[in-house]
Amino acid sequence: QTDKEAREVIEAYQASLTFADRQLGRVLAKLDELKLRDRTVIVMFGDHGYHLGEKGKWSKHNSLFEVAARVPLIVCLPGGEVGKSSPRTTQLLDIYPTLCEACGLPLPAGLEGHSLVRLGRDPQAAWEHPAYTVARNGPAFGQSVRTERYRYSQWTGGEGGAVLFDHE
């Protein structure tokens, strides 16, 4: 593809993100207008990222790189910090336990995720839970673990390669 085509793809992708952000803003504004924000649990998340030429890739599948493994996640809780982001590493498995705790429901046994309610109230709270990613690329099976500082990824148990990224 040409540089012009690449720019058009990137612009279209960024426009779709801007549109989604605007729609979320409309929902939040309406909740504020109706004075429902202080008794509403809001969880917004999206699909994982998309390579836009990074690492020579133009896709979102079969990648363990940070750009394709991350997802947007916004959690607003009654009594929580509004407009604050947390540097803690979380994963989508954390949504269900978060909703259970925020709604006063019992947590079923055997859940792999962890409630984010503590981080909603204190975005800097201690957190020792990494995030995991898996991907398949043909016969190769990739696994990745992400902490606040590091991402370790390997393909086919390390036989297909392994890499450690220090994000500091």
Share of the chain above pLDDT 90, in %: 67
d(CA 130, CA 89): 6
Q: What is the share, in percent, of the chain residues with pLDDT greater than 70?
A: 100
Q: What is the pTM of this model?
A: 0.85
Q: For position 161, what pLDDT does the model report?
A: 93
Answer whether residue 32 shows pLDDT above 80: yes
Instruction: Give the pLDDT confidence score for residue 82 in this predicted structure.
Output: 76
Q: In the numeric block, which tokens belong to residue 46?
A: 């999206």
What pLDDT, on a 0 to 100 scale, did the predictor assign at position 50? Answer: 78
The token pair that represents 59 in the structure block: 């896709």
pLDDT tens per residue, range 94-140: 999 999 999 999 999 999 999 999 999 899 999 999 999 999 888 88
pLDDT of residue 62: 82
Predicted pLDDT of residue 81? 76
Count Cβ atoms within 10 A of the Cβ of residue 25 and give its class: 0-12 exposed, 13-18 middle, 19 or more buried.
exposed
Measure CA of the first residue to CA of the last residue in the chain; give whole Å. 33
Confidence of residue 51 (pLDDT cuts 50, 70, 90): confident
- Mean pLDDT over 16-24 rounds to 91
The reported pLDDT for the residue numbered 1 is 78
